[in-house]
Amino acid sequence: MSLFEEMQQAIIDGKAPVVKELTQKALSEGIKPADIFPKAIVPAMDEVGRRMRDCEFFIPEVLIAARAARAATDILRPLLVGDAAARPAGTVVCCTVKGDLHDIGKNIVAMMLESAGFRIIDLGADVSAEKIVDAVRAHDANLVAMSALLTTTMVNMKSVIEALAAAGLREKVKVMVGGAPVTESWARSIGADGYGKDAPAAVDLARSLAAA
């Protein structure tokens, strides 16, 4: 098994310490940090996404795998600053909306997007529309990903889209939404650009929105 394959397996198995060790080993062997992303982390997380979709993996394994992937990205990120070859796939501002503290789903999406090569500006949970607008501006983001897990808070997604429009940023960013009570038709009705029914779907959606 090649080093990249070993890394992929360790990520899929959720073995964070092994991933960390293998990442360091790869670097000490002179492998470029920018190569480790597409050759080890992205394919591993795509496989995790596939297994999640096929019910082989459930949230615990996805979280554990994502945490293992983070053991690699934490080492690689600082090394990639200013590396032109490692341009992120896009910059995503993500959060749960005002009033909503249920952030495990959002965190999974953020970790999977990060492993897919996106730069993540994670504003956390219970985030106001103003904060989202500020972050889009400050980080020159091209995607906003929001989640709501309560029917009582999902209405706040609409206010965010309105605030982005009012700030003149709506043309500049694509907005994707998700969360248990959210549906495709709800997403359309509030003028979002896309809805991801689960984390793998969110990654596919982000890729297509970023490429558009």
The structure tokens 């995607």 sit at 143
Closest distance of CB 117 from another protein, Å: 22
- CA 172, CA 198: separation in Å to the nearest integer? 25
Closest distance of CB 162 from another protein, Å: 19
Of 24 and 152, which CB lies nearer to another protein in the complex structure?
152
Of 88 and 124, which CB lies nearer to another protein in the complex structure?
124
Write phi, then psi, for 161 (nearest 5 degrees): -60, -40
Closest distance of CB 99 from another protein, Å: 3
Of 7 and 52, which CB lies nearer to another protein in the complex structure?
52
Distance of CA 147 to the CA centre of its chain: 12
Q: List residues near another protein by CB under 8 A.
A: 14, 55-56, 58-61, 63-64, 67, 98-104, 107, 125-126, 150-153
Of 26 and 202, which CB lies nearer to another protein in the complex structure?
202
Which residues are paired to 45 by β-bridges?
A: none
Closest distance of CB 104 from another protein, Å: 6
Of 77 and 102, which CB lies nearer to another protein in the complex structure?
102
CA distances from 170 to 138, 144, 166, 207 (A): 15, 10, 8, 19
- CA 131, CA 23: separation in Å to the nearest integer? 35
Closest distance of CB 151 from another protein, Å: 6
- Which amino acid, residue 80? L
The structure tokens 């993996």 sit at 57
Please choose, from the candidates 119, 123, 105, 2, the residue with its C-alpha nearest in 3D space to the C-alpha of residue 62.
105
